[in-house]
Amino acid sequence: MKTQNPPSTEAHVVRGTFYLFLFLSGFVIRLALGQQNATDSAIDPTKSSFAVGHATSGSAEAQPSPVVAATAVVVWDQYNNAGTAVTLSGTFTDAPAMNSDLADDFVVENFSWLVRWIDVDGAYFNGAGPANTFTVYFYSDNDGFPGNQIYSTLALWTQTGSTFTFHICDSPDTCEVPFLYPGRYWVEIQANMTAMCCGEWGWTDRTLTSGNAAVWRNPSGFFGACTSWSRRAATCGLDPAAPDQVYRIWANLGPTPTATATPTPRATPTSRPRPSPRPRPTP
């Protein structure tokens, strides 16, 4: 999906009309954002509010984490190749039909990870923010899509330019974050917002794909497609030129899990005739 430039005055007027109608009637209607050049999209661009153009705070590669512990290292880095749009990932107290999820995958190799922080490139649109809270979710992998949720937290965050740093575990001795062992996982960053006052938040799309392409869903079907996890770009038609997301993960490395010894198979004994019972000797 091609995306629009930062919202115009007309878009703000349309948004205001939408929320007035929403609160007077109690019904949710689709918000027209005047998106341009959105041919070949799986979702009607005049009825969507989840992919908009934005400006990052300089090169995505140049965004450092504002908090770095000596024992934490970058274990997964997709903070590069930023596109020109963000995709909605949020819940809304005043417009729950717009609730949407966006997740991307990563791979733990060799060591176990205790995730400390996550840097995410993103932006508010249709309002200046801020979010009420942010929720970070981790999922297991299910054949290339998010599987079971294995952890979630309302994360404290700091913002520097377009970099949002989510604090998952500031104190390793007391936090309850589980170690992630080798395997593929998915992470979701979701803003919890009040749309009427503060707008929406989106995660910056990435032109280079690492692992599986990002997935998106809108469970209510409000946006007309992808009510379950689907490829954001290829299936949902959201910013097809940038199919992944911009983020990096900081973690403490744990020991390499010890492989469980596998018993050596034993040869199956050759079957022998069962011996006949013998009479007990007479004393």
- Whole-number pLDDT of residue 65: 39
- Whole-number pLDDT of residue 241: 98
- Whole-number pLDDT of residue 165: 99
Separation of alpha carbons 215 and 234, rounded Å: 9
- Whole-number pLDDT of residue 107: 99
The answer to whether the predicted template modeling score (pTM) of the entire model surpasses 0.75 is: no
Name the token pair of 20: 């007035």
Residue 54, Cβ neighbours under 10 Å: how many?
Answer: 21
Query: What's the distance, Cα to Cα, between the start and end of the chain in Å?
Result: 98
Q: Please spell the DSSP secondary structure of 94-160, one letter per residue.
A: S-GGG-BEEEEEEEE-SSEEEEEEEEEEEEEESS----SEEEEEEEEESSSSEEEEEEEEE-EEEEE
Q: Can you give the residue ranges of every domain in the chain?
A: 49-58+66-254
The pLDDT profile of the chain, 283 residues, written as one tens digit per residue, is 333 333 433 333 334 434 433 433 332 223 322 232 332 333 333 333 355 665 554 444 434 433 333 489 999 999 999 999 999 999 999 999 999 999 999 999 988 999 999 999 999 999 999 999 999 999 999 999 999 999 999 999 999 999 999 999 988 888 888 999 999 999 999 999 999 999 999 999 999 999 999 999 999 999 999 999 999 999 999 999 999 999 999 999 987 766 544 444 544 444 444 333 444 444 4
- Whole-number pLDDT of residue 99: 99
Residue 49, Cβ neighbours under 10 Å: how many?
Answer: 26
